[in-house]
Structure 1
Amino acid sequence: MRLGAHLSIAQGLPQAVLMAKRIGANTFQYFTRNPRGGRARQIGETEIKEWLEERARNDIYPVVAHLPYTVNLAAPPGKLRDFAASVLQEDLERVKLIGGEYIVTHPGRHKGDAAEALTRLAAIIQENVLEGQEHGPMLLLETMAGQTGELGSLDELRQVLDLLDWPPQVGICLDSAHLFAAGWNLKSSAGCDDLVAALEDKFGLERIKVFHLNDSLAPLGSNRDRHACIGEGELGEEGISAIINHPFLGSLPMILETTVEKYEDYGKEIARVLSLCRQRAEEI
């Protein structure tokens, strides 16, 4: 099982490997730059060399980057779109340099013009991902909770891929808290089956690459994006168990983004997830 958490690379990528091992993780996610701003720390050749060695030695795979929340890939022409295009292009190259497999992004926001926003989103991906980025990391569009003005439903992500003519460089990242808040009841194996059937129909399962494993503080269908620690939200241990023990969903690399106070607490979260795996195995 590929199971990890969102970690900081502020002290360097090699240190992030050590952090991952301390919490029992064999994969992790990190922000490409300040999540609330635009600054990015520089990663030099010496750090990259040490990182690649430590990563291989400790079997860290896959490596998932996440664009900052300030990026709006669906913004209309202007400063916000220029900023989004610049960050997307720069960070794709930065992730490529360290050998990262995936870069996750929220699809974007709009002010009531969803159809136009989807067209703008497809255009910025076409210009900055598909043109000249053939061998870089795969861009993953994240499923969202459905808050007002927020893109990210399964149907909307399908429309973006249709507009792009289904390029191999673009895939999907699932988020359990977002999906639950969007109305997908993942508290049972049957509910997980329903989601997977929809994913297969709309995208093909081979395009689903990463799973953000979060409990939800918000109730089913609330369209509110509020994460909770594993087993302590509306999904509860029942829902988390259904997800991680599902034959398809449980096979995806899983990244925790739960509401821990410090990164070491992710070790407890990971242990809890693994315990739920063992419990199901013992029941069978």
Structure 2
Amino acid sequence: MFVIGPHISISKGFAKAAESAVNMDANTFQFFTRNPRGGNAKAFDEKDIAKFQKIREENNFGPLLAHAPYTMNLGGAKDDVYEFARRVIKEDIERMNYLGIEYMCFHPGSHVGGGIDFGIDRIIKGLNEAITGNETLTILLETMSGKGTEIGFKFEQLKKIIDGVEHNERLGICLDTCHIFSAGYDIVNSLEDVLDEFDRIIGLDKLKAIHLNDSLMPFGDKKDRHAPLGEGKIGLEAIVNIMTHPKLKDLPFFLETPFDEEGHKREIKMVREIVNS
């Protein structure tokens, strides 16, 4: 089963979000665990959750992906920022696990001057405090573009985080096509080489989901600017190669392209026609 869906807001509830996914002919979706720019999470509405779970089951959804808020920085040098991130990731792992969500991804963090090794140590510490090993949820480190002081734009950095976490059987990777293209991994001309490198350093068994995005910025520019599929510097041919690659085609794909619901519906239709042709 080919699994694809967009990012959908849950501001009107999980059930409404699931209904929107069905309307777009999606069989999964991504959502923020809480307000992406805010702090405290809303309590669950159990009636809404029950309806959401019913829609999910009736429509044979693939794995869902929760996304931690952008305000969460586990690699930060400032203690108040770090303490907030430690609280949020622990809470959100518990909340998403309660919902039976398969995956939760997060941006590993930015060291903000503390240095990459310092930031990685903080990320490891935060994850070790948050992950008990009893979860069904898998927490995904997202591949980053390398802008500013971001951590996670090199496979080696992600591997170091994984190796430092005690219950790393609950960790995986969400590969963002725009990000790794911007970070300098040539998925346009050398996709097989990039996957071989990923496998050698991290292991393809750790690759659990893909953010399928084109890039407004050129290769290796270390800037995070998403574009609609086929309308950026990656191009549709390379994106099709990713979607249909034997090592990737069975993973869930999540669109973070700049569209509204109707735009995503058209994009999903285009993708399905390509995959099924």
Name the TM tier (shorter chain): over 0.9
**Cα distance between partner residues in 1 of 2:170 and 2:255:** 24
**Cα distance between partner residues in 2 of 1:48 and 1:135:** 19
8 A Cα contact 1:22 1:264, kept in partner: no
One-letter code of the match for 1:212? H
Q: Give aligned pairs, total.
A: 274
CA displacement 1:133-165 (0-9 Å, x = unmatched): 522411100000111200012110011112225
**Cα distance between partner residues in 2 of 1:154 and 1:73:** 18
Query: Paired residue for 2:120, among 118, 121, 136?
Result: 118
Q: What does residue 254 of structure 1 align with? A: 253
Q: What does residue 60 of structure 2 align with? A: 59
8 A Cα contact 2:77 2:112, kept in partner: no
One-letter code of the match for 2:13? G
Q: What does residue 148 of structure 1 align with? A: 148
Percent of pairs identical after alignment? Answer: 38
8 A Cα contact 2:128 2:166, kept in partner: no
Pair 1:272-2:273 in alignment: no
One-letter code of the match for 2:51? E
Aligned runs of 1:12-51 on 2, under 5 Å? 12-51=13-52
Aligned runs of 1:56-205 on 2, under 5 Å? 56-76=57-77, 78-112=79-113, 113-129=115-131, 132-152=132-152, 153-164=154-165, 167-188=168-189, 191-205=190-204
Q: Which moved more, 1:29-38 or 1:266-275?
A: 266-275
CA displacement 1:207-259 (0-9 Å, x = unmatched): 11010000000111111110000110001111111111111122210000001
**Cα distance between partner residues in 2 of 1:242 and 1:256:** 16
One-letter code of the match for 1:122? I
8 A Cα contact 1:180 1:186, kept in partner: yes
Q: CA deviation at 1:41?
A: 2.5
State TM-score, norm by structure 2. 0.95
**Cα distance between partner residues in 1 of 2:166 and 2:129:** 14
**Cα distance between partner residues in 2 of 1:68 and 1:263:** 21
CA RMSD of aligned residues (A): 1.4
> Which blocks of at least 5 consecutive residues in structure 1 are unaligned?
none
CA displacement 1:94-151 (0-9 Å, x = unmatched): 111211011100000013311111111111000112xx35224111000001112000
8 A Cα contact 1:27 1:62, kept in partner: yes
**Cα distance between partner residues in 1 of 2:171 and 2:121:** 15
Q: Any runs of at least 4 consecutive aligned residues in structure 1 with deviations exceeding 4 A, and if so which? A: none
Q: CA deviation at 1:45?
A: 2.1
8 A Cα contact 1:93 1:136, kept in partner: no
**Cα distance between partner residues in 2 of 1:5 and 1:142:** 16
8 A Cα contact 2:133 2:167, kept in partner: no
Q: CA deviation at 1:77?
A: 5.8
Q: CA deviation at 1:26?
A: 0.3
**Cα distance between partner residues in 2 of 1:272 and 1:53:** 28
Q: What does residue 226 of structure 1 align with? A: 225
**Cα distance between partner residues in 2 of 1:111 and 1:34:** 23
Look up the SS of the partner of 1:249 in the other structure. Answer: coil
8 A Cα contact 2:105 2:174, kept in partner: yes
8 A Cα contact 1:171 1:209, kept in partner: yes
Look up the SS of the partner of 1:121 in the other structure. Answer: helix
**Cα distance between partner residues in 1 of 2:232 and 2:78:** 39
